Chains A and B, each alone.
Chain A
Amino acid sequence: MSIADRINPLARKLPTWVVYVLYLLPVPVLLYMAQTGGLGREPVKALEHELGEIAIQLLIIGLCISPLRRFAGVNLLKFRRAFGILAFVYVVLHLLVWAVLDVQTLERVWADIVKRPYITVGMGAFVLMLPLIATSNNRAVRWLGPLWRQVHLLTYPVVLLAAVHFIWVRKGFQIEPILYLAVIGGLLALRLIPKRARVAA
């Protein structure tokens, strides 16, 4: 029995709300840790970073779904919307911690968005997610028809902007955000492989 044959029946049985519950658990855990010293001596930056990192991980999971089906026959398509919505939830939390607890005034928030390229890039990713979140429901899928797929190609620039934002926030040459960019680049490159070529092989 192949891996796909083992996973697919399990995935069919697993309700999507399990994914939501599991992936929302880090929120209360992180808030508790931030209050009790578990995130170190400066919890605001740590919280901001953890939330951002979970968001980018969720975006990457979302990008894995279609290659998994295409190249490994593993069908997790029914969870893709959950991962996308959860990524948006974490982006919003990341943004709120940054604006309210870190930067603290509207004036400074606006100044940062306009003046700091890495924040401009991050905000760009957030804005591009808005049409995605607005159309992440069955009614929008029906209403938009084939256009829905086109709109959701926006996930590619969103995740690339997120990776650039992550690299840019660090000082010096650091490995971690570059690894994220490499993984994202790899997942996007898989989409360039023509479908016919695979059939011919």
Chain B
Amino acid sequence: MAHRWKNDLTRADATPYAAFMNRRQLMGGALGLGLIGAAGAARAAEELVPNSWEDITQYNNYYEFGTRKDDPARNAHTLTTSPWTVKIDGLVDNPGDYSMAQILDAMTIEERIYRFRCVEAWSMVIPWNGFELADLLTMAGVQDGAKYVAFETALRPDEMPGVSYPVLDWPYVEGLRLDEAMHPLTMMATGIYGKTIPNQNGAPMRLVVPWKYGFKSIKSIVRITLTEDEPPTSWNKANAREYGFYSNVNPEVDHPRWSQASERLVGGGLFARRQPTLMFNGYADEVASLYEGMDLSKFI
């Protein structure tokens, strides 16, 4: 069922230029007075202005194509995304190999403008096109015993120059708790700005979980498995102290090597100010209840 969640405001509500400039002046004044905290609090309620196509498609972490930010844009063209098959298995009623065409036929594509916060403390705003993961899982028929969803990225040494280095234990794997996976904010993206999603952003289909650090939003998915037990996840396997299974955006819990309290919005140039990071990346109203009673400094 599409359209269960709406942006507070969308691109259609774009602020008239004059009003935009006015607010910039107000914010500038606030910054001048040192009221950065207040400006940050106001930001949650503001409309989201998406980053440029260039920001979104030329500044990527996709280590299968290299560890530099511009490597994926340079190298990912070698990935064959058509034909593409996604194996859905585990605790589902209708396991099998689903072609991308089959999946797209069954799903309704919509646009979602989400904040995207990388664990490295940079962020973007991205206008995704895609469908809710819940719809795909419902199509596969989730069985009663299923508690988690495991995801796997394609592993193709011939097409992915980065996997010849042991940066991570390939293939890249990720996972969500079933309630997180079924949450209406959680989506599978197949496009950006109304165009087919570029390879470097995870073509032909990638996960988007906007309240979690970006590495949870696994790219170029070839397998989805419903499981009873918490599945292993790549960064957690690489360094459990630094990357937990949950990895919710949380300004109060720092990465052991850097602060998560603020972030740098990509595209601002040399002199852009950092902005405060929001709890659950600004989606606390929607998702905080999923973690009620959990100590978020322990369940990182």
Q: A residues near B, CB below 8 A?
A: 34-35, 40-47, 101-104, 108, 111-112, 115-118, 168-175
Contact with A along B147-171 (1 / 0, CB 8 A): 0000000000000000001111000
**Which of A41, A104, A116, A174 lies in contact with B258, CB distance below 8 A?**
A116
Contact A175 B55 (CB under 8 A): no
User: A101 to B270, Cβ gap below 8 A?
Assistant: yes
Instruction: Please state if A41 and B271 are interface contacts (CB–CB under 8 Å).
Output: no
- Are the CB atoms of B69 and A41 closer together than 8 Å? yes
Within 8 Å CB of B3, what residues of A?
A: none
**A112-B258, A175-B165 known; A41-B54 Cβ under 8 A:** yes
B266 touches A42 (CB 8 A): yes
Bound state CA distance, A92 and B165, in angstroms? 33
State the Cβ distance, B169 to closest chain A Cβ, in Å: 10
At the interface, yes or no: B120 with Cβ under 8 Å from chain A?
yes
A-B contact count (CB 8 A): 67
> When the two chains form their complex, are residues B67 and A41 in contact, meaning their CB atoms are under 8 A apart?
no
B269 to chain A: closest residue by CB = A43
- Are B122 and A42 in contact, with the CB atoms below 8 A? yes
B58 within 8 A of A: yes
Q: With the chains together, A41 CA to B266 CA distance in Å?
A: 7
Are A118 and B257 closer than 8 Å at their CB atoms?
Answer: yes
A55 to B15 Cα, complex, angstroms: 45
- Contacts of B183 on A, CB cut-off 8 Å? none
Q: Are A35 and B270 in contact (CB under 8 A)?
A: yes
Cβ of B24 under 8 Å from chain A: no
Binding site for A on B (CB under 8 A): 54-55, 58-59, 63, 67, 69-70, 120, 122, 165-168, 235, 238-239, 254, 257-259, 262, 264, 266-267, 269-274
Give B120 Cβ to nearest chain A Cβ, in Å: 7
Smallest beta-carbon distance A48→chain B, Å = 11
- Flag if B167 contacts A42 (CB, 8 Å): no
- Give 5 CB contacts A-B under 8 Å: A42-B264, A43-B270, A44-B270, A171-B235, A173-B167
Report Cα–Cα, A34/B267, bound state, in Å: 12
A112 CB contacts on chain B under 8 angstroms: 258-259
Residue ID in chain A nearest B61 by CB atoms: A171
Residues of B contacting A118 in the complex (Cβ-Cβ under 8 angstroms): 257
Interchain CA distance A116-B254 in the complex, whole Å: 10
**Bound Cα distance from A146 to B129, whole angstroms:** 70
User: How long is the Cα–Cα vector from A20 to B166 in the complex, in angstroms?
Assistant: 39
Residue of B nearest to A118 (CB): B257
Q: CA A111 – CA B262 in complex, angstroms?
A: 13
Given contacts A42-B264, A42-B266, A174-B67, contact A117 B257 (CB under 8 A): yes
CB-defined contacts of A172 to chain B, threshold 8 Å: 63, 67, 167-168, 235, 238-239
- Shortest Cβ distance from B271 into A: residue: A101
Nearest A residue to B262, CB-CB: A108
Residues of B within 8 A of A168 (CB): 257
Nearest neighbor of A108 in chain B, beta-carbon distance: B259
Are A34 and B167 closer than 8 Å at their CB atoms?
no
Which chain A residue lies CB-closest to B70? A40
Q: How many Å lie between the Cα of A44 and that of B70 in the bound state? A: 15
A101 to B272, CA, bound (A): 8
CA distance A169 to B54 in the complex (A): 26
Bound-complex Cα distance A115 to B238 (A): 22
Residue in contact with B166 in the complex, picked from A40, A104, A111, A173, CB distance below 8 Å: A173
Q: Which 4 A-B pairs have the closest CB atoms?
A: A41-B59, A172-B167, A41-B55, A42-B266
